[in-house]
Amino acid sequence: MEKYIDKGLSDWMQQDGPESDVVLSSRVRLARNIKGLPFAPLMTDKATKQLIDQARNAMNQQYLQELGSFELLKLKDISPLDRKILVEKHLISPKLDSEYMQTAVVLKDDEAANVMLNEEDHMRIQCIFPGFQLRTSYDLANQIDDSLEATIDYAFDEKLGYLTSCLTNVGTGLRASVMVHIPALVITGQVKRLLSAIQRVGLAVRGYYGEGSEAVGNLFQISNQITLGYSEDEILENLEDVIKQVIEHERDARKHVLAHMKINIEDKIYRSLGILLYARAISGQEAMERISDVRLGIDLGMLKGISANILKELMVITGPGYLQKLANRELSSDEWDSKRAKIIRERLANIQIDK
């Protein structure tokens, strides 16, 4: 467990990917259920044991081992603090954590993939890569899916496809999503119109932690909503086409603010940088907003000497769970804000300012 917790950043967070000035990450999730077992909301202790036993048996198959090293962890054996960190690193969902007594997760050693057991479905295969790499994420998820299906009999209907707890996942069971950072569209007031247009073509727009979460730090998750009646390739292609337009609009907006709002945007970026460099206490929400401004300054070439991945890094290590892990004790909300400010000051110490 320590290797997943002590390493604040997953490998994907430390890497750049295609179109990484706008797209932070690409994620693919496949929902699968086992034939003969009740769906997750009705799972008994006996059925849960069967699920975990089948997953553990599948992990020992050569095909899966060829994809990397995988480890199964029961969440009831993990401390509440460590589970919180796994949520902050997007290695498990908040729902999996909330039902920890009956859930488990299979983690790949580089943290690019995981399989959540007994969440909304028996198995949720999830893969995540930096930048705009939906196809890469899908390819790995598909390989893991094939390896599991070699020993596990899925609940599948010839007409409907994969059967799932939620009707919106019936069919391919595929949910593809992209995390975008679009501060210029927010600044220029274009974001509401763009996101409304995205929703009209059947895509969902959510916040940093997915369904039910609010957008903070100019970060939005864009994903497909329907899986029935479309092939995997059609779902991915539709999402890719929309994201390409989002990237184009954000880059145009950045050019606009540099050409017509340069003083205002510089002032906004440097004010946020000043707060981050000197604040002695800062809330999680304000930190995300200020870090977003600094990331924009890096992308626009105003700030140098620090990786653009600073946004992804600070999103994780300034979360309540990780802050307490670093402090090695429980913290009050005031102590969270103080510890968060200290870590941010340290991480930004080498930033170069164009005077």
Task: Give the CATH number of the domain where residue 203 resides.
Answer: 3.30.590.10
The lowest-confidence range among 1-5, 82-86, 155-159 is 1-5
Beta carbons within 10 angstroms of residue 191's beta carbon: 22
223 and 282: one domain?
Answer: no
Tokens of 66: 């060829």
Q: What is the pLDDT of residue 179?
A: 94
**Is 160 among the domain residues?**
yes
Residue 234 lies in a domain: yes
> What domain range is 316 assigned to?
262-353
Q: What is the pLDDT of residue 1?
A: 64
CB atoms within 10 A of CB 196: 10
Are residues 170 and 119 located together in one domain of the fold?
yes
Residue 266 inside a domain? The answer is: yes
Please compute the mean of the pLDDT values over residues 340-355 and round it to a whole number: 84
Residues 152, 97 within the same domain: yes
- Averaged over 257-280, what is the pLDDT? 95
Question: Tokens 């092939």 — which residue?
Answer: 231
Assess whether 208 and 270 both reside in one domain: no
Torsion 276-207-163-95 (CA) sign: positive
Q: How confident is the model at residue 6 (pLDDT cuts 50, 70, 90)?
A: low
How confident is the model at residue 209, as a pLDDT?
Answer: 57
191 in a domain, yes or no?
yes
Question: pLDDT digit string (tens) for 171-204?
Answer: 999 999 999 999 999 999 999 999 899 999 889 9
Domain assignment present for 257: no
Say whether both 172 and 208 belong to one domain.
Answer: yes
Binding residues: 25-29, 90, 124, 175-179, 206-211
**In this model, does residue 7 exceed pLDDT 70?**
no
> In terms of domains, do 106 and 201 share one?
yes
Instruction: Please determine, for residue 213, whether its predicted confidence score (pLDDT) is greater than 60.
Output: no
Specify whether 188 is located in the same domain as 41. Answer: yes
**AA identity, residue 36:** G
Residue 242 covered by a domain: yes
The two three-digit tokens of residue 35, written as one number: 């034939």
Lowest mean pLDDT segment, chosen from 40-44, 104-108, 299-303, 340-344: 40-44
Cα–Cα distance, 319 to 88 (Å, whole number): 7
Model confidence, pTM? 0.90
- Kind of pairing, strands 156-157 and 113-117? unpaired
Binding-site residues for ATP, in ranges, read 25-29, 90, 124, 175-179, 206-211
Lowest model confidence (mean pLDDT) among 26-30, 234-238, 275-279, 327-331 = 327-331
Q: Are residues 314 and 248 in the same domain?
A: no
Q: By percentage, how much of the chain surpasses pLDDT 70?
A: 95
- Domain-located, residue 172: yes
Torsion of CA 41, 43, 44, 48, to 10 degrees: -130
Residue 139 lies in a domain: yes
Q: Are residues 35 and 182 in the same domain?
A: yes
Q: State which of 191, 226, 252 marks the end of a domain.
A: 252
Residue 89 banded pLDDT, cuts 50, 70, 90: confident
Query: Residue 216 above 80 pLDDT?
Result: no
What single string gives the DSSP state of each residue in 21-89? Answer: TTEEEEEEEEEE-BTTSPPGGG--HHHHHHHHHHHHHHHTSHHHHTT--EEEEEGGGS-HHHHHHHHHT
The number of domains in the chain is 2
Confidence tier at 214 by pLDDT (50, 70, 90): low
Assess whether 228 and 275 both reside in one domain: no
Query: Could you tell me if 32 and 68 lie in one domain?
Result: yes
pLDDT in tens, 108-150: 988 999 999 999 999 999 999 999 999 999 999 999 999 999 8
* Per-residue confidence (pLDDT) for residue 197, from 0 to 100: 92
My answer on whether 101 and 222 are in the same domain is yes
Domain boundary among 229, 252, 275: 252
Among the candidates 220, 252, 284, a domain finishes at: 252
